[in-house]
């Protein structure tokens, strides 16, 4: 989302603890859009890593488990979260990603690639009105809302869904914010913008979680 600001991408690479980490991009949510994949390679080719992508619509890797577990960082792109999860499950990639998480591979992503790790969240997968989704991978507890300050409907809709019980309490992130977890425990919030924050949202309201600016 910030092609001229590599702060979050460089920070993600540092989490691997490897000088030249292997990074795999999953563009499933966009239907493996060629322009999106090209954008990933353009961004990460400027950083100290070995980038690759893993397509599923024209699948090239027979052994997804070997492809994923050989990586240091899995980076999931944005798009249609519900469609992405359905495709992952057809190919068995959901189970592979859980195994990778348990093995210590860094899992990350933006938009759909942020939402997918939680039990559920608010999504535009079913239309612009924004709907609850409750069948995420559930590696992380509760619900999630990306683009909290980036799209006008996100904040009020997410708060409404949590308040009504349609979604469990959870975490929201402004654009440019990353939530870092160790296992299923939130350990840090970082940001590529000084004015960006994360938020803990419950039926009673929201609590701001200040982010460490990476600049």
Judged by DSSP in three states, 95 sits in helix
Burial (CB < 10 A; 0-12, 13-18, 19+), residue 32, is buried
Residue with tokens 């069948």: 135
Residues in the chain: 215
The question of whether 114 is a catalytic residue gets the answer: no
**Crossing angle, helix 81-91 and helix 93-103, to 10 degrees?**
90
Q: 136: which strand partners?
A: none
Cα–Cα distance list, 150 to 5, 36, 64, 137, 138 (Å): 17, 20, 34, 24, 24
Catalytic residue, chosen from 30, 111, 114, 192, is: 111
Per the annotation, the verdict on 147 as an active-site residue is yes
Pairing relationship of beta strands 140-145 and 131-133 according to DSSP bridges: unpaired
Catalytic residue among 53, 125, 143, 147: 147
The catalytic residue positions are 111, 147
């Amino acid at each position: 989302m910030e092609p001229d600001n590599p702060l979050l991408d460089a920070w993600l690479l540092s989490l691997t603890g490897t000088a030249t980490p292997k990074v795999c991009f999953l563009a499933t949510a966009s239907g493996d859009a060629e322009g999106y994949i090209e954008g990933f390679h353009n961004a990460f080719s400027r950083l100290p890593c070995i980038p690759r992508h893993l397509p599923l619509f024209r699948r090239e890797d027979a052994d997804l488990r070997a492809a994923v577990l050989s990586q240091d960082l899995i980076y999931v792109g944005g798009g249609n979260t519900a469609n992405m999860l359905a495709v992952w499950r057809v190919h068995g990639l959901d189970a592979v990603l859980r195994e990778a998480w348990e093995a210590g591979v860094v899992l990350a992503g933006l938009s759909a690639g942020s939402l997918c790790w939680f039990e559920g969240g608010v999504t535009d997968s079913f239309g612009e009105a924004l709907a609850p989704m409750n069948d995420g991978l559930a590696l992380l507890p509760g619900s999630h809302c990306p683009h909290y300050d980036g799209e006008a409907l996100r904040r009020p809709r997410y708060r409404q869904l949590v308040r009504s019980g349609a979604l469990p309490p959870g975490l929201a992130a402004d654009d440019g914010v990353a939530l870092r977890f160790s296992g299923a425990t939130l350990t840090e919030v970082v940001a590529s913008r000084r004015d960006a924050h994360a938020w803990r949202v419950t039926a009673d309201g929201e609590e701001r979680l200040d982010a460490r600016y990476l600049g």
